Structure 1
Amino acid sequence: MNSDISLIRISSLLLVVAGSTIEPAGADSLLFPVLVSNAPNVTTIASVVDGPTAGGGATHLTYIYRYKDAFDSSGVANRNGNCSTRTLTRSSISGDVVSFDVAGAFEGGNALFGDANFYGGGFGLGVTGPQRGYLLVTNTNSTGSPLAVGDNLDLSGEFVVMEIAGGAAWGGKAINDVNRENFDFINANIAGGGVYSALPSNGTPYRRFTFAPPSEWSTRFFVTPIGANMDSAQLTAPVSVADLYDRDGQSRPFTSIVLSVTCTAAVDLRDLVDSSTWAAVENTGGWASFGANDAVIYKLEYSSDPQYNGTVNNGFLLSDSALP
């Protein structure tokens, strides 16, 4: 599916998580690395589980959206723009799960699926137009102050990115930093870090990926830089593609194009490959390696080609620990 959210096609906003040094007094925190919002065309359904074992008197969860326009004023992908922040504090009970629509297309951003619990308000982003972002969730009191709960795995979550008009969807899991930092999500590749779903990982900043013929399919990467103070920092990460091969096993060397991402953004494969190399693989596809430094990466591949009988897409976490 086309992830240009302005064209009612799913785009994913990379939410990025990183954890830092261990602080036993810290509240458990959760990162949703990909959010897309463009009601009524595209939305993200997020589900948050508040585990049954937490203590410490935490009666609420605080939700911190980091978001920005998906495109700049000229219609170009907004890779380098800063994120804005929206914070919501809502009631929670131990053992509860709450699901909500980030864009507010369903139930106006209130709890979904007949949830009768009282939360004290909705959960939606409350911003119109195509948006990309990530979401932080943490245990707090009623004023939004983080509280230690005695369980570094109290919170968990999942998300589904939906193209409402076309009926296409894909999703993933929220990230729980094992070091329980409030808003620090540090790559486990760094000493003291607790995020295992970011690059570099397992000793390398690259992961192989395949790509279908670009004349029929589009390949996009959702990138969220991770690090300290993700509730306020404008973190950056470089991304690039290397070691590109065509479908006949021929290496297609080219001068690396390195792009920078601030806060979160989507990067098309086309923007990372020069024009002559692109022309050589446009009708065949192939494989290559995607590289990043301290970022969570999701790969999305989508097509609206009539031969596939509708809008199709496939999204998954590329920055896992599996090699190559």
Structure 2
Amino acid sequence: MVKFPQILCIGSVLWDVIGRSASHMRQGSDVPGHITRLPGGVAANIAMTFARFGMTPSLLSAVGRDPEGDELAAACETLGCNTAYLYRSEDLPTDRYMAVEGANGLIAAIADAHSLERAGARILQPLRDGTLGSAEAPFTGIVALDGNLTEFLLDEVSRDPALAKADLRIAPASPGKAERLMPFLRTSRGTLYVNLEEAGLLCQTRFTSAPEAAARLVERGAARAVVTNGGDAACDATPDGLIAERPPEVLVTRVTGAGDTFMAAHIVAEMHDTTRDEALTLALTAAAQYVSGDIPS
């Protein structure tokens, strides 16, 4: 009998290179600020938030066998994440993400996550060969999954017998990849964590509020949809109804990673048997603390 980890985080694990300035910025701005390089990627950000809550998440991703990859794996371990199941590629470089943030929010970002996409199903091997699970003995814990995987692989995951008993929690990596989550609408699997723009892309329309968006996602097949909308009300919807709540008002000092923090905090809250209302409150509070800088990166 396989002894399963409690939490798996599947998706991008890479270096985040973030330039931040206290100035308002526009195209062509050249301003003073600070540049940091930290372990990042949606899966890693979620995993590190789990670790801050005392969990020991395991990462499933692709990381190169280059110096950057060795350093990244070591940094993730130091931050409380289990990297034993990473696919370490000999010929694919370690992925990177670069963003510029100003006082007026995210200005621009580029995700160089091609290695994860090229690795494909190889990152899921531990879930299929009996190491963490198999079709005969499915993984039964929580799986936090991000949309940096290809739509073909996400479709496989939505129907994979090795994950048939898993508690799937799914987020797009960015609005540009939101439509990759369509398989989970078709199969009515898992909980979708999206922002208002991403919900609109999945539903091929525009929404003015999170409750409207979450309700439409459920109508289109989502088993559950949790939709955020910046400083406006967020919503948690299922076929049995919806709840909505506004986040605390804070001074925003950063935005990259806020959605990942919200998602992880929401999952941890539910692991402690909170009500849906309580879980939404705790997640919004954690995300507000993060964007204000009260929670370290």
TM over 0.5: no
Greater relative CO (CA pairs within 8 A, separation 6+): 1
More strand by share: 1
Q: Which has the higher helix share?
A: 2
